[in-house]
Amino acid sequence: MYFSRVCKGCCEPYKGKVCKEYLSGKKIYVSNSEHQENEELKVAAAIKYIRSSDSMSTRCLQYGIPAMCYFYFPACEENTGHHKHRLCREDCNALYDDICLTELQIAKIYTNSLLLSCNELPLPGTNDSTYCTPLGIQGEFR
């Protein structure tokens, strides 16, 4: 396996393939030595389902895959070593309320795939929310 480093609650370079487009060259927070490998397998299965789904809209595909990557692989602050929150709550809510509304309703019914939990993310306007990773959703969705 390409995941061999032993750590507990540390930052390490993203070594996976499934989120390489978004996380290549970045450090992510891992809770233990198996974390990155286990999350990679789960996210890979979910993304494979997303990409093969006939009901996936272009908008949902554009934001849904990076949302999963940022949610399950939180970025680390290079200077402090502290991890950022996985995703901005307002972006997560935009996915559920509009951008991926239909797709997420279908996913809840037919799969056990990974679904984002927006309630775990800090509320906008709080100190913790300044450390989130945004998706770049513009306009009415933000």
The CATH number given to whatever domain includes residue 80 is 1.10.2000.10
Most confident of 32-36, 61-65, 108-112, 113-117: 61-65
For range 79-90, the mean pLDDT = 72
Write the pLDDT tens digit of every residue in 22-80: 999 888 888 776 778 888 988 888 778 777 777 788 888 888 888 888 888 888 876 66
For residue 113, give both structure tokens.
């795939």
- Whether pLDDT at 119 is above 80: yes
SS3 state at 88: coil
The residue type of 104 is L
Q: Is the pTM of this model over 0.85?
A: no
- The backbone region for 139, taken as left when phi is positive above 0, alpha when psi lies in -120 to 50, beta otherwise, is left
Round to whole Å and give the CA distance between 60 and 34: 30
> Does residue 2 fall inside a structural domain?
no
Domain boundaries, position 100: 10-141
> Does residue 1 fall inside a structural domain?
no
